[in-house]
Amino acid sequence: MKFSSGLCLTMLFAACGGPVAPWPAAPHVSIDLKVSSSASSVPVLGEFELTLDLYHRSDLPVEFAPVVPDGFDGKVLVVEAQEFGGGIWQHAVIKLRPVSAPGKLMIPPFVAKATDGSLSATTPELELEVLSLLADKEKEAALEAPSDPLSMPVRWGFLALLAASLIAGIFLIGWFYRRSRRPPPLPISIPVPPHVRALRELQRLRSAARSSEAEVDAFYVATSDVLRRYLEERFGLHAPERTTEEFLLEVEHAKTLSNTQCRELRSFLDQCDLVKFAALRPDEVVHQATLDAAERFVEDSRADRAFFAKSL
Whether pLDDT at 310 is above 80: no
Decide: 131 and 105 in contact? Cβ < 8 Å. Answer: no
H/E element, 248: helix 244-254
pTM of the complete model: 0.41
pLDDT bracket for residue 248 (50, 70, 90): confident
Measured distance CA(219)–CA(212) in Å, rounded: 11
Q: What is the arithmetic mean of pLDDT over 178-205? A: 82
pLDDT in tens, 37-67: 999 898 888 899 989 898 888 888 999 889 9
How far out from the chain centre does Cα 236 lie? 41
Residue 90: Cβ-neighbour burial (10 angstroms; 0-12, 13-18, 19+) = buried
SS3 content of the chain, % helix, strand, coil (to 5): 45, 20, 35
Whether pLDDT at 111 is above 50: yes
What are the structural domains of the chain?
Answer: 2-133 (2.60.40.10), 194-311 (1.20.120)
Interstrand relation of 120-122 and 111-114 (parallel, antiparallel or unpaired)? antiparallel
What pLDDT does residue 171 have? 86
pLDDT bracket for residue 17 (50, 70, 90): low
What pLDDT does residue 20 have? 85
Torsion of CA 303, 241, 296, 198, to 10 degrees: 70
Q: What is the arithmetic mean of pLDDT over 181-206? A: 83
Share of the chain above pLDDT 70, in %: 82
Q: What is the arithmetic mean of pLDDT over 108-127? A: 90
Whether pLDDT at 258 is above 50: yes
pLDDT in tens, 224-245: 889 888 888 888 877 666 788 8
Whether pLDDT at 112 is above 70: yes
- Helical axes 284-301 vs 303-311, angle rounded to 10°: 50
Give per-residue burial for 48-64: e unless 16+ CB within 10 Å, then b.
Answer: bebbbbbbbbeeeebeb
C-alpha pair distances (Å), 47 with each of 73, 110, 206: 9, 19, 54
